[in-house]
């Protein structure tokens, strides 16, 4: 299967090593921002919805420009397309959430809230542990907030934590990436990435359900 | 005897052989050797190049990993030490062109280099830009062979390549495909365009090219570069589980790589096969196919039957 790509899994993980070493200690900042975003879902804070939106926007923009365009392009001729997708999603988050404040992030003790929190915690904690067990621990591992797959899982979690209707246009690119990134589980022997399409399917079903409930409540 | 079907029959094989002999003005010998290694003539000029070259798909795409780059220097050094000539790459192969350039810069005995790369983009202007970038990446003054990769926007690029060849900026013009479904389009271009070389897939299991492309190349006096000689490694991984037949010694094959490569380069219309590897020991195996006897038609049939029965 790996012969379908222009690079080997060894070179792919080597790229993560170069990237992680080059941006060190940015990983701490990424985790801090992710933790703050998750915390703000539980605690009132001025402009918290815009702050969460800005965190999501910053993550997607960074990954598009730095990871995809400056690093992944070295070995993958399709990476510039991925860069465009991530930058576009970053701009959508910036416009919809950070600038216009069109969504409110609140934890509700229901299936959407618990699943959202579970996805966010999974992306930050379980995903890297799975990679460690699979044999590509730090620095040869994709890191939350700075690489596409764990960040997309976190994004699904945050989208489930929006109060009321989740803006559908914010789900399109994460869904596309969940298919592309999920293929890495098989093409590049990254077993933890198999969780990405699973998270996408669960999130999409729940978002459709949540949006229908929101519409009924609005009509009632 | 097992019927191996129309993909390789006496008429096609002898037809190709005769066409090459007639068009190249050479005796119909399968053992066209120069010095101690097997070489083949580029029909357009008669220039002889080693019949085993090197591809770079996947194997040289190592990015900025210095450890792997240093290892590829050793691979390429071995290639030249053993008489290698053609290196084939493409802008599509990630960092491969840059890594080839990195390696060439560190190798002294590269006088036999026959540089071959591709243009792979839409639009003529972007093609010019891409080919200039490739030259910078390789660190060469000009490419020996510039090919239109998978025929992408070939009608635009062929005009540039004709001009560049006339100006001496490239020496030969080629066109490639690695998709069986594009054989018809490639055959049409071979018949109508001023090409010097074509590149397509041919190996002991994928012999569709014997039916049309190889005889046509011989008829049109085109050099033939063969990609995917090991089916991107899957073929050799598969046969290596079995013992090399003792009779492989009759054609001086010491390993499966030589067995599979000698099958390819013994076809009279083939100029050069370009296996890719990231390992020095595999490079040595591959380059061993430049030595010793080549199979005749009867032996080629036997080789096919043997591999198909594995």
Return the minimum-mean-pLDDT range out of A154-168, B17-31, B135-149.
B17-31
Strand partners, B88: B55, B116
Residue B86 has phi, psi (to 5 degrees) of: -80, 125
pLDDT at A34 over 90: yes
Q: What is the mean pLDDT of chain B?
A: 89
Q: Which of B94, B232, B233 sits opposite A74 (nearest CB)?
A: B94
B94 touching A, CB under 8 A? yes
Interface residues of A toward B, Cβ cutoff 8 Å, are 3, 5-8, 10-11, 14-15, 18, 74-77
In angstroms, the CA A19 to CA A180 distance is 20
For residue B48, the model assigns a pLDDT of 96
Domains of chain B are 10-309 (3.20.20.100)
As to burial, measured by CB atoms within 10 angstroms (0-12 exposed, 13-18 middle, 19+ buried), residue A148 is: buried
Tell me the three state secondary structure of residue B169: coil
User: By the 8 A CB rule, do A13 and A136 touch?
Assistant: yes
B225: confidence class by pLDDT, cuts 50, 70, 90? very high
| Gap between the Cα atoms of A81 and A83, Å rounded | 5
**CA distances, A22 to each of A17, A128, A150, B308 (Å):** 8, 19, 19, 50
Mutate to test the interface with B, among A8, A9, A82 (most CBs of B within 10 A): A8
- Distance, in Å, from the CA atom of A176 to the CA atom of A204, rounded to the nearest integer, reads 12
B244-279: pLDDT as tens digits: 999 999 999 999 999 999 999 999 999 999 999 999
Cα–Cα distance, B55 to B201 (Å, whole number): 12
Predicted local distance difference test score (pLDDT) of residue A136 = 87
Give the per-residue pLDDT at B140.
96
Tell me whether strands B114-119 and B143-148 are parallel, antiparallel or unpaired.
parallel
pLDDT at A185: 84
Are residues A6 and B62, on separate chains, in Cβ contact within 8 Å?
no
CB contact under 8 A, A74 and B92: no
User: How far away is chain A from the Cα of B34, in angstroms, using its nearest Cα?
Assistant: 35
| pLDDT in the model for residue A220 | 75
Note the pLDDT tens digit of each residue in A87-121. 999 999 999 999 999 999 999 999 999 999 999 99
Q: Provide, rounded to the nearest whole percent, the portion of chain B with pLDDT above 90.
A: 83
pLDDT in tens, B179-192: 666 888 899 999 99
DSSP state at residue B115? E
For residues B206 and B26, the model is more confident at B206
Residue B175's closest CA among B161, A219, A123, B166?
B161
What is the rounded average pLDDT of the residues B134-142?
Answer: 96
Residue from A195, A187, A203, A193 nearest A9 by CA: A187
Do residues B170 and B143 lie in contact, with contact meaning Cβ atoms separated by under 8 Å? yes
Q: What is the pLDDT of residues B68-81, one digit of tens each?
A: 999 999 999 999 99
Token digits of residue A77: 């001729």
pTM: 0.86
Q: In terms of Cα–Cα distance, which of A67, A96, A112 is closest to A172?
A: A96
Q: B67 to chain A: nearest residue by CA?
A: A14
Q: Is B233 within 8 Å of chain A by CB?
A: yes
The whole-angstrom distance between B286's CA and the closest CA on chain A is 20
B38 close to B287: Cβ distance less than 8 angstroms: no
Measuring CA to CA, how many Å separate B56 from each of A100, A158, B59, B278? Answer: 49, 43, 5, 9
Name which of A8, A11, A139 to mutate to probe chain B: the one with the most chain B Cβ atoms within 10 A of its Cβ.
A11
Structure tokens, B302? 């036997």
Percent of chain B whose predicted confidence (pLDDT) is above 70: 88
- Whether the CB-CB separation of A160 and A201 falls below 8 Å is answered with no
């Amino acid at each position: 299967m790996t012969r379908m790509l222009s690079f080997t899994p060894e070179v792919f993980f080597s790229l993560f090593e170069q990237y992680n070493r080059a941006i060190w200690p940015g990983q701490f900042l990424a985790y801090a921002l992710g933790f703050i975003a998750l915390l703000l879902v539980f605690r009132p804070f001025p402009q918290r919805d815009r702050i969460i939106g800005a965190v999501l926007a910053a993550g997607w923009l960074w990954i598009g420009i730095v990871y995809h365009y400056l690093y992944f392009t070295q070995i993958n001729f399709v990476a510039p397309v991925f860069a465009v997708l991530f930058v576009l999603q970053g701009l959508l988050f910036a416009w919809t959430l950070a600038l216009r404040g069109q969504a409110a992030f609140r934890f509700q003790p229901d299936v959407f809230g618990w699943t959202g929190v579970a996805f966010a915690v999974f992306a930050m904690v379980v995903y890297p542990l799975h990679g460690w067990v699979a044999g590509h621990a730090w620095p040869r591992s994709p890191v939350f907030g700075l690489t596409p797959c764990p960040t997309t899982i976190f994004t699904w979690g945050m989208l489930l934590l929006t109060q009321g209707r989740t803006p559908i246009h914010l789900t399109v690119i994460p869904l596309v990436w969940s298919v592309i990134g999920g293929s890495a589980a098989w093409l590049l022997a990254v077993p933890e990435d198999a969780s990405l399409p699973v998270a996408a399917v669960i999130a999409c079903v729940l978002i459709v359900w949540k949006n229908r409930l929101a519409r009924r409540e609005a009509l009632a | 005897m097992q019927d191996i079907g129309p993909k390789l029959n006496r008429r096609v094989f002898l037809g190709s052989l005769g066409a090459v002999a007639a068009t190249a003005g050479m005796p119909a010998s399968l053992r066209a050797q120069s010095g101690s290694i097997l070489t083949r003539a580029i029909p357009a000029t008669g220039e002889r190049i080693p019949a085993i070259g090197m591809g770079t798909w996947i194997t040289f795409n190592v990015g900025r990993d210095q450890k792997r780059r240093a290892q590829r220097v050793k691979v390429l050094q071995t290639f030249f030490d053993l008489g290698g000539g053609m290196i084939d790459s493409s802008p599509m192969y990630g960092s491969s062109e840059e890594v080839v350039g990195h390696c060439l810069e560190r190798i002294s005995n590269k006088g036999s280099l026959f540089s071959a790369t591709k243009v792979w983009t839409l639009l003529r202007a972007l093609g010019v830009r891409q080919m200039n970038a490739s030259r910078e990446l390789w660190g060469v003054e000009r490419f020996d062979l510039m090919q239109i990769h998978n025929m992408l926007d070939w009608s635009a690029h062929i005009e540039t390549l004709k001009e560049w060849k006339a100006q001496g900026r490239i020496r030969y013009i080629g066109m490639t495909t690695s998709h069986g479904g594009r054989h018809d389009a490639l055959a049409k271009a071979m018949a109508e365009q001023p090409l010097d070389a074509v590149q397509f897939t041919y190996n002991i299991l994928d012999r569709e090219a014997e039916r049309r492309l190889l005889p046509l190349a011989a008829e049109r006096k085109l050099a033939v570069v063969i990609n995917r000689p090991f089916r991107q490694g899957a073929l050799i991984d598969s046969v290596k589980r079995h013992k090399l037949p003792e009779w492989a010694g009759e054609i001086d094959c010491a390993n499966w790589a030589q067995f599979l490569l000698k099958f390819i380069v013994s076809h009279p219309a083939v100029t050069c096969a370009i296996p890719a590897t990231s390992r020095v020991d595999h490079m040595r195996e591959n380059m061993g196919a430049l030595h010793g006897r080549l199979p005749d038609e009867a032996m080629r049939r036997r080789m096919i039957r043997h591999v198909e029965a594995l």
